[in-house]
Amino acid sequence: MSSSSSSDEERRWVPLRSRPEFSDVIPVEQDDGPNPVVPITYKEEFRETMDYFRALYKADERSLRALHLTSEAIQFNPGNYTVWHFRRLVLEALNHDLHDELALTEHIARGNSKNYQLWHHRRWVAEKLGTSATTEELRFTKNILSIDAKHYHAWSHRQWVLQALGGWEDELDYCQQLLEEDIFNNSAWNQRYFVITRSPFLGGLKAMRESEVCYTLNGIVARPENESSWRYLRGLYKDDNSSWVNNPQISSVCLEILNAKTNCVFALSTLLDLISHGFQPSQEFTDAVDALRISDSEQRDSDVAKAACFVLESVDPFRANYWQWYKNKHFQNA
């Protein structure tokens, strides 16, 4: 594709009205509705490109010059979905080589990767190319994620690639690598959950649980303030509360964090979750929670669950109403 490489970008833009291949086209201005059109102050080149685009689009001209024109229009404004739509009609009509599209979308992504159109186009192309596109699509998303590791479009595309085209083999390692770089990356935790529950090679949640619990608990001990790792841990016991309550590793990590006395919100909430599902806390838990009270004047309760709720109300004041509700709902009669 001539206009998608960076050297061409630097080439001077030739007005469409001076290009011989467009001499027969009468440009069509945007119909701005009933309001009078005020003098044009935006880039003349962009306007001219769009006027010529509208002419070819109206005439439904699915030609090579139309293909080139859409590529120019897209580079001026990648958000204009009608141009992308028309481009796909032209590509289909010409039976054009789709590998060029990968270069175009990658080029557009360099400018603004948070554009729905480019991802939609990319998927349309990858779907047509089939499994031959797998490696390239995994590389492309990895590249975007190396710049923004929480990029929602990139993750979404990557999940689609795995499910539609395959390439699961190295995905758990990839999640591991991203979590080593940033253990707070919720997108990477989500992808990890996606892999262990959906990869055809790993045997599913139950088969993966033991090793995943160990991995996650290590992450929790390293950064106990990390909402993502705690939620992941709980997700490992989705629909299996009795295993959740009966794994002693979990309660002992909670105790360890409570005793360290910093960043205890999620350890306390997990303790509450365990107790509400039948866990019987020992005296050690009562002592650890009691020691977390900021001052002696603070409310205390002989019941460890209620005491934990009181602590949460004071250390997490934005959500005081939530912890109060939690106490009343689960431990009213304790």
Annotated catalytic residues are 114
319 binds other proteins (CB under 8 A): yes
Nearer to other proteins, 21 or 182 (CB): 182
Q: Compose the 114-153 pattern: x for residues touching other proteins by CB under 8 A, - for all others.
A: --x---x--xx-------------------------x-x-
Among 6, 20, 38, 296, binds other proteins (CB under 8 A): 38
Neighbours of 214 (CB within 10 A): 11
277 binds other proteins (CB under 8 A): no
d(CA 120, CA 105) in angstroms, rounded, equals 10
In the chain, the largest separation of any two C-alpha atoms, in whole Å, equals 88
Among 198, 209, 277, 300, binds other proteins (CB under 8 A): 198
d(CA 331, CA 256) in angstroms, rounded, equals 24
Among 228, 247, 251, 270, binds other proteins (CB under 8 A): 228
d(CA 301, CA 290) in angstroms, rounded, equals 9
Amino acid identity for residue 60 in this structure: D
Shortest separation between residue 120's beta carbon and other proteins, angstroms: 5
Shortest separation between residue 191's beta carbon and other proteins, angstroms: 8
Residue 254's nearest CA partner among 237, 263, 236, 267 is 267
Nearer to other proteins, 19 or 88 (CB): 88
Q: Name residues whose C-beta falls within 8 Å of residue 185's C-beta, 6 or more positions apart in sequence.
A: 149, 150, 178, 179, 228
193 binds other proteins (CB under 8 A): yes
11 binds other proteins (CB under 8 A): no
In angstroms, the first-to-last Cα distance of the chain is 71
d(CA 162, CA 160) in angstroms, rounded, equals 5
Residues 78-107 close enough to bind other proteins by CB under 8 A: 79-82, 85, 88
* DSSP code for 237: T
Positive or negative, the CA dihedral 161, 165, 167, 172 is positive
Could you list the residues that contact other proteins (CB under 8 A)? 30-35, 37-43, 46-47, 50, 54, 58, 77, 79-82, 85, 88, 116, 120, 123-124, 150, 152, 155-156, 159-160, 184-187, 190-191, 193-194, 197-198, 227-228, 231, 234-235, 238, 317-319, 321-322, 325, 329
